[in-house]
Chain A
């Protein structure tokens, strides 16, 4: 029995995913820490994303664990695009909460250097239910080269993936995972909780040259439309198909459930 236990531990050590280990080491090197539950949840998230061929499409994944700027700034996918937070955030085991007035995180991920015109996605997992105000959760905008997710602003819901902004049909709440994806030059799709919320005719235009901001919109270099929604996960990368969006949601929601912060 003891030998078996040791065997499991030994096997577990040998099987630690190198990408997860690199992420964990970045968290520690930054002065952050992860609880055992957070370590296990992020390990499983990496495993689930890889098992569903969702690891490669990701450019940046922010799991928002560790309850500190140092930990939440780390990109699970790679050492690139480590975020930098402004003051005005509150970090907790449930995620990172911007103040809705001045707080955002600069991802350093510049759209035209890192994304493709006709294959891109952006997502935000909100734990705050509020559809008031003019707030954008994640993205960037320059002229008609826009990329963002927004639960509600100016009385409508706006979305863009390398295009001009489009209005989509209202959401019943601003909880859980909102994802916008483009996999061709003519349409973009909005997914809420892994399900197709709407398919919009939207011609791709161009890629902007801006860094994408989390917690607001980078509007031609100016942070605007600050959100007050607690972020428990965000991602940006290549476009996802319906099946991929569904599997992605399943993995993210399992991750949140492990952390007891799913909504």
Chain B
């Protein structure tokens, strides 16, 4: 999946910030701890008058998720 790549500082700046009362930003880290933002065309419309529209101008890259630990594996 392709997403927008953020620096650590950018991620700290935007994480959890509300665009409107019903929408907030959630960034996630990939397998290499690089931060990604995912926004689609509907999000672009939602963000258009916000101070966070610059997220859609960030460089894009392939997101590879971290391996998810199995919480039900008792050997973990």
Residues on A facing B (Cβ under 8 Å): 30, 69-70, 73, 82-91, 99, 101-104, 134, 141, 154, 156, 158, 165, 167, 219, 223-225
List 28 A-B pairs, Cβ < 8 Å: A30-B21, A69-B22, A69-B23, A70-B20, A70-B22, A73-B22, A84-B22, A84-B23, A84-B24, A86-B23, A86-B25, A87-B38, A88-B26, A90-B40, A90-B42, A91-B42, A99-B1, A101-B3, A101-B36, A101-B63, A102-B26, A102-B27, A102-B36, A102-B37, A102-B38, A154-B73, A158-B72, A165-B71
Please report the C-alpha to C-alpha distance between residue A158 and residue B72 in the assembled complex, in whole angstroms: 9
Please report the C-alpha to C-alpha distance between residue A249 and residue B65 in the assembled complex, in whole angstroms: 35
> Hey, which chain A residues are within 8 Å of B27, CB to CB?
102
Q: Is the CB of A223 within 8 A of B26?
A: yes
Quick one: which of B22, B43, B68 contacts A88, CB cutoff 8 A? B43
For A224, the closest partner residue in chain B by CB is B68
Q: Is the CB of A154 within 8 A of B22?
A: no
B32 at the interface (CB under 8 A from A): no
> Hey, which chain A residues are within 8 Å of B22, CB to CB?
30, 69-70, 73, 82-85
Please report the C-alpha to C-alpha distance between residue A63 and residue B55 in the assembled complex, in whole angstroms: 31
With both chains docked as a complex, state the minimum distance between the C-beta of A153 and any C-beta of chain B, in angstroms. Answer: 8
Quick one: which of B20, B26, B63 contacts A86, CB cutoff 8 A? B26
Q: Is the CB of A101 within 8 A of B38?
A: yes
With both chains docked as a complex, state the minimum distance between the C-beta of B34 and any C-beta of chain A, in angstroms. Answer: 13
> Hey, which chain B residues are within 8 Å of A83, CB to CB?
22
B13 at the interface (CB under 8 A from A): no
Chain A proximity mask over B33-47: 1 for CB below 8 Å, otherwise 0:
000111110110011
For A100, the closest partner residue in chain B by CB is B1
> Hey, which chain A residues are within 8 Å of B39, CB to CB?
87-88
B75 at the interface (CB under 8 A from A): no
> Hey, which chain B residues are within 8 Å of A30, CB to CB?
21-22
Q: Is the CB of B28 within 8 A of A101?
A: yes
For A167, the closest partner residue in chain B by CB is B72
For B65, the closest partner residue in chain A by CB is A101
Please report the C-alpha to C-alpha distance between residue A87 and residue B4 in the assembled complex, in whole angstroms: 12
Please report the C-alpha to C-alpha distance between residue A30 and residue B23 in the assembled complex, in whole angstroms: 12
Quick one: which of A89, A91, A141 contacts B71, CB cutoff 8 A? A141
Q: Is the CB of B21 within 8 A of A87?
A: no
Please report the C-alpha to C-alpha distance between residue A128 and residue B38 in the assembled complex, in whole angstroms: 20
Known: A88-B40, A101-B65, A102-B36. A165 touches B21 (CB 8 A): no
Known: A30-B22, A99-B1. A134 touches B68 (CB 8 A): yes
With both chains docked as a complex, state the minimum distance between the C-beta of A39 and any C-beta of chain B, in angstroms. Answer: 20
For A141, the closest partner residue in chain B by CB is B71
Contacts A70-B22, A87-B39, A90-B42 given; 6 further ones with Cβ under 8 A?
A85-B23, A89-B42, A102-B3, A102-B26, A102-B36, A223-B26
Q: Is the CB of B72 within 8 A of A87?
A: no
With both chains docked as a complex, state the minimum distance between the C-beta of A151 and any C-beta of chain B, in angstroms. Answer: 15
Please report the C-alpha to C-alpha distance between residue A113 and residue B47 in the assembled complex, in whole angstroms: 33
Please report the C-alpha to C-alpha distance between residue A90 and residue B25 in the assembled complex, in whole angstroms: 14
